[in-house]
A and B are shown apart, each in its own frame.
Chain A
Amino acid sequence: MPPTLSRRSFVAGSAALPFLCIASAAARTPGILVFGLSSYPPSLAPWANAGTAAGTVKLMIHRGLLSYDANGSLRGELAEQWTQDGPAAWIFKLREAVFHNGDTVESADVKWNIEQISAEKSTAYFRAEMQGIERIETADARTVRIVMKEPAASLPQWFASYHLPIVSRKSQLSEPIGAGPFVMKSQERGVFLEVEAFPKYYKPGLPKLKAIRAVVYADENLRVAALQAGDVDLIEYVPWQSMDAISKDPKLALDTTDGPFMYLLFNGTKPPFNDARVRQAVAHAIRRDDIVKAAFFGRGSPLAHLPITEKSEFFNPELKDGWNYDPALARKLMADAGYPNGLSCSLLSTAQYGMHKDTAEVVQQNLAAIGIRAELNLPDWATRVTLGNRGQYDMAVGGTAADNNDPDGLANLIDGSLSPSYIRSFGVRVPRIEELLKAGRAEFDPAKRKAIYKEIEALAITQAPIAGLAWRSQGYAMAKDVTGFKNLPGALTFSSGITLEQTNAG
């Protein structure tokens, strides 16, 4: 008699389904890391800044002259030594390394890269900096001497950036040939990228992984779910609301650093924010703890001064609370500036990213307490960028991270002589700050540099070319058996992909 399925046995069977031992949908392959990216790189052009995900992938397949170690200190990569040679020149000694096509990395390659970046039609991130180079000398295949038009103390930091990798001079621009630890194997636009270990990588024993499969999980909650379900081994951009759950999960590890930050920008071309007192009043009216709580679920810290991290040698403890919460002082500054009854203005942010919107809402509430009626403008990100670049706002919320932990990175935010940009205030110029930034760039003596940037920060507190709001915690999360990956400190967090060469899984 054939077996029959009674209604009762069907129900019993269904109820037992959850207890069946079904292997996890994603079985781990030793030596292969699945990396959950937050977005698909819009471009993998080696010298373009195409965001964090692109940076991470570039760090898999390329190397520059220098990079950073796990503590954030400069270290050699394709260059094994670098020294200053006179006030405006630097010498880089190349090590023995080969590109993915087997060619040796030579000084001519370095020269070619710099020439491409600084070319007239270039869209490279470091184009302006490379155009500041007077000449490049290549005495032999392993020596590069770079002579700047003006002294540049932060030049080594530029060459450690993942926006300045060295690719073979035989590269087609659409298919750059790198010298990094991994080689691009396959990719599907918008979905995934696969790289495999480069056997002739110049560091013996590295990379430890056989391959990395970088899969895009644009939804932050799905990215976390994929990690918890074992589909991926490592994720970037851990959402703040999930950090607690991940840190309590015995199978997972969380690595965070306070690197990126939120701040306010002003339109200095018209009243009321062309008056430093009004800008300063705004800076003293914000309860920064509320922003950390509302926008970052407590995963961050208040920022009441210029964005220089406490771990930096340029940090000034006495200016730490420069823009402390002081509504009485804020009201007095408003009255001194001629606004005793408050004022109305627009506050530009974006609804596309929760942290920008939440920050704007807290700022709006705080400003209402000192009589500033800020009307929120929350378009999508693309519109936000355009409005910011054109100065079509009174006040705006910004969020970014510096390129590196060198204070010269502050120029991007507070140097009003630079071209208009959505990341810095529009038309707010403080000539003394501009002079000091230039001096800081040309100063090589550490003590003198520190004094220069201290003066800049003190001036910024009173002139408020921007107003710092909050550091936000930037996190990577990974399975416990993923070893060697490290979130680099502070502003270098987005360079953490450099540690993938020493990462192992399974």
Chain B
Amino acid sequence: MLGYVVRRICVAAGLVLIVATLVFLAIHLVPGDPAELLLSQGGVAPDPATVAELREKLGLDAPLLDQYVNYLAALLHGNLGSSLIDDHSVAAEIALRLPRTLELIAAAAVLAILLGLPAGTLAALHAGSLADRLASAAAGIALSIPVFVVGTVAILLFAQKLRWVPAGGYVPFERDALGHLLVLAMPAGTIALGLAAVIFRMTRTSVLEVAARDYVRAARARGIAPGRIVLNHILRNALLPVVTVLALHLGSLLGGTVLVEYVFNWPGLSGYLVRAVELRDYPEVTGIVLVISILFVLLNLAVDLTYAVLDPRVRHV
């Protein structure tokens, strides 16, 4: 298994290098000049001499290949560079914002699992019942409503009408723990709604399939308590596809919470990435995408290891 993990890590490192190159090329090849943009704020006409000065200062006048080599050399030293706009360290900004996005995703995942897993299991065990049909219909609706609609309705209801929570924003946990949880509730709940529907559907399908297997029937015949059959015989086997789907969704959420972060003003990584692209802040864009890619690769590795825990057969592959 160690050899397998080492091989996977090597492949992952190669993937990260490819991603780094592609992102560097992509952001440099699209039109838009950070120096021009920075000096064109507020709809004004920048003086070309001033733009040239800034381009020189930012190193943007160097040939692209030189810029690429410098970029890779800096990466090898673990240096993600600094913002073209205000010279702020990209690594420091990511270190500040990544935990917030991870917290948002983690909170949403916990909520979604707490809701989707039991509901999916119960719906499968009582397949065809009214509750199953209602839950399936609700999951269908939850899946089809875009997050910005859920978010906007949540703001209207819980912030503007009921005034239970702030409309958005961020309160550091260390400053006000309750305030932090209050502002986290709506964005996490919004992401969780769609995610719970996915988990619900996957769990329901998988449990239905596993519950019909012979070994489950045999377990029943042996007189094992129904609760134990569900937990040890059905769920343990039914969870593999659920974990896969959940991991894929969590991975895509790393860069995909942008709408929720935007709607709720949550200062995470996705919103930071969008702003960086808008301003053509090259070091920020490449740094953030690189970090997200590494996390995605690590998440996939974690899924493989989780497989090994859930299914001992995988350990011998």
Contact = CB atoms under 8 A, between A and B. Distances in A.
A382 B278 contact: yes
B42 A221 contact: no
Given A121-B53, A222-B264, A229-B160, A386 B32 contact: yes
Interface stretch (B164-172, B198-206, B244-252, B300-308): B164-172
A435 interface: no
Contacts of A191: 170, 267
Contact of B93 (A24, A127, A189, A424): A189
Contacts of A216: 265
Interface string B270-287: 011001001110000000
A433 to B, nearest CB: 16
Contacts of A43: 38, 85-86
A189 B88 contact: yes
A50 B41 contact: yes
Contacts of B33: 382, 385-386
Given A121-B53, A216-B265, A219-B263, A190 B278 contact: no
Interface string B134-177: 00000000000000000010011001101111111110000000
Contacts of B32: 380, 382-383, 385-386
B42 to A, nearest CB: 5
Given A25-B164, A190-B272, A215 B169 contact: yes
B30 interface: yes
A42 B41 CA distance: 9
A379 interface: yes
Contacts of B226: none
A459 interface: no
A25 B165 contact: yes
A401 B86 contact: no
B94 to A, nearest CB: 12
Interface in A397-413: 398-401, 403, 412
A58 B251 CA distance: 40
B170 A225 contact: no
Contacts of B40: 385, 422
A228 B155 CA distance: 11
Contact of A222 (B88, B170, B265): B265
A72 B96 CA distance: 42
A221 B152 CA distance: 9
Interface in A209-229: 215-219, 221-222, 225-226, 228-229
A379 to B, nearest CB: 7
Interface in A191-211: 191
Interface in A367-424: 379-383, 385-387, 389, 398-401, 403, 412, 418-424
Nearest to B41: A51
Contacts of A50: 38, 41-42
A123 B265 contact: no
Query: In the complex, which of the residues B32, B41, B57, B155 has the most CB atoms of chain A within 10 Å of its own CB atom?
Result: B41
Query: In the complex, which of the residues B31, B54, B170 has the most CB atoms of chain A within 10 Å of its own CB atom?
Result: B31
Contacts of A13: none
A382 B155 contact: no
Contacts of B162: 18, 22
Given A216-B265, A381-B278, A52 B42 contact: yes
A494 B42 contact: yes
A422 B45 contact: yes
Contacts of B102: none
A387 B33 CA distance: 10
B163 A22 contact: yes
B227 interface: no
A380 B31 CA distance: 10
Contacts of B31: 379, 382-383, 386-387
A40 to B, nearest CB: 8
B37 interface: yes
A215 B265 CA distance: 10
Interface string A219-245: 101100110111100000000000000
Contact of B39 (A25, A49, A225, A352): A49
Given A51-B41, A222-B168, A225-B159, A25 B182 contact: yes
B118 interface: no
A504 B33 CA distance: 41
A495 B172 CA distance: 32
B48 interface: yes
Interface in A1-44: 18, 22, 24-26, 42-43
B270 to A, nearest CB: 12
A451 interface: no
B296 interface: no
Given A225-B160, A385-B37, A419-B48, A217 B265 contact: yes
B63 interface: no
A229 B159 contact: yes
A292 B32 CA distance: 29
A419 B47 contact: yes
A128 interface: yes
A42 B86 contact: yes
A231 B38 contact: no
A22 to B, nearest CB: 6
A299 B90 CA distance: 40
A55 B43 CA distance: 13
A22 B265 contact: no
Contacts of A424: 45
Nearest to A388: B40
A297 B166 CA distance: 28
B10 interface: no
Nearest to B275: A190
B160 A389 contact: no
A426 to B, nearest CB: 12
23 contacts: A25-B159, A48-B39, A49-B41, A121-B53, A122-B50, A122-B53, A124-B50, A189-B93, A190-B275, A217-B169, A217-B265, A219-B265, A226-B166, A226-B169, A228-B160, A229-B159, A229-B167, A380-B278, A382-B279, A386-B36, A400-B42, A412-B44, A421-B45
Which 10 pairs show the lowest CB-CB distances between chains A and B? A382-B32, A421-B45, A400-B43, A51-B41, A25-B166, A225-B167, A383-B31, A226-B167, A229-B159, A191-B267
Given A55-B42, A127-B47, A231-B159, 18 more contacts: A43-B86, A49-B42, A50-B41, A123-B57, A125-B44, A189-B86, A190-B97, A190-B275, A217-B168, A218-B265, A222-B263, A226-B159, A229-B159, A382-B280, A385-B37, A386-B36, A401-B42, A421-B46
Interface of B: 30-33, 36-48, 50, 53-54, 57, 85-86, 88, 93, 96-97, 152, 155-156, 159-160, 162-170, 182, 262-265, 267, 271-272, 275, 278-280
